[in-house]
Each structure stands twice: as C-alpha cells, then as structure tokens.
Amino acid sequence: MLPLILFIALVVVVVVLFEIRERQKAKHPTSAPERPDGCCGEHLVCERETLLQTNAEIVYYDDEGLDALAGIAPADYTEAQHKALREVFSTLQEKDVPGWCRSLQLRNILLPPDIREEALLIVRERRKQ
C-alpha cells in the first residue's frame, strides 16, 4: 500500500512541476517576437524563407571561385580571398544579397565581419519594404 501512495505522490509532483514550467514558459517566451511578415529578423537569411524553400539547390552569382573558401574561418582568409568576396558583394544588386547569402551558407562559406555587417544592413532594409 505504501509503495502505491508514494508512486501517486511522485506522479502528482511531476505533474505540478510540469504545469509550473509551462506557465513560466508562457509568461517568458524565449524566442524573439515575430514581426508582421513572420520573420524574427535575427538571421542574415530569414529562416521562414529558408524553411519554405523545398530545394537546397545552390545558386551561383558568378562566384564559383569562392567555393575554395568553404570551411575556412573568415579570420584565416588571405587578403586576396577577402578581396574576391568584396568584389562579388559589390557587384550584387540589393535584391540578390539575401539569395547570395543563402548560397554561401549552403556552400559553407562564411562572410568576414565587415561584409557580413553590410549584407545585414541591406537585408534588414529590404525586409522593411
């Protein structure tokens, strides 16, 4: 009889703790608030757009040579590699910047901080439109 009472008490405690945790999550959500367009705005390429994309096809922007940068940390880029990224970025139309960034992500190419910041500014401005 005592083991049954202990088991029931344990179940009640677990249920109460679960309810408390769920109420705290409801009061203090951990995710960023959504914007009217459904994007949180915290990523270079909107995750909403990425998730809607059914294919993971890489689109090239006359930048096939950048594939040599795959897997290299931006701090390890040579001056020539950084210049190559800058040249491609500077030739893009603003409407192409989000797609280019997605292409780089699929190719495992990281942007150096200076180019990344400029790209983020363009993406944020385009999202406001």
- What pLDDT, on the 0 to 100 scale, is given for residue 81? 96
Residue position matching structure tokens 């459904």: 38
Structural tokens at position 124? 């944020």
The domain total for the chain is 2
Same domain, 64 and 13: no
Residue 11 domain boundaries: 1-30
Is pTM beyond 0.75? Reply is no
In this structure, are residues 61 and 100 in contact, taking their beta carbons and an 8 Å threshold?
A: yes
Evaluate the CA torsion angle 39, 108, 81, 96 in order and state its sign: negative
Taking only the tens place, the pLDDT of each residue in 67-98 is 999 999 999 999 999 999 999 999 999 999 99
Same domain, 61 and 97: yes
Segment holding 21, helix H or strand E:
helix 2-27
Alpha carbon distance 40, 79 (integer Å): 34
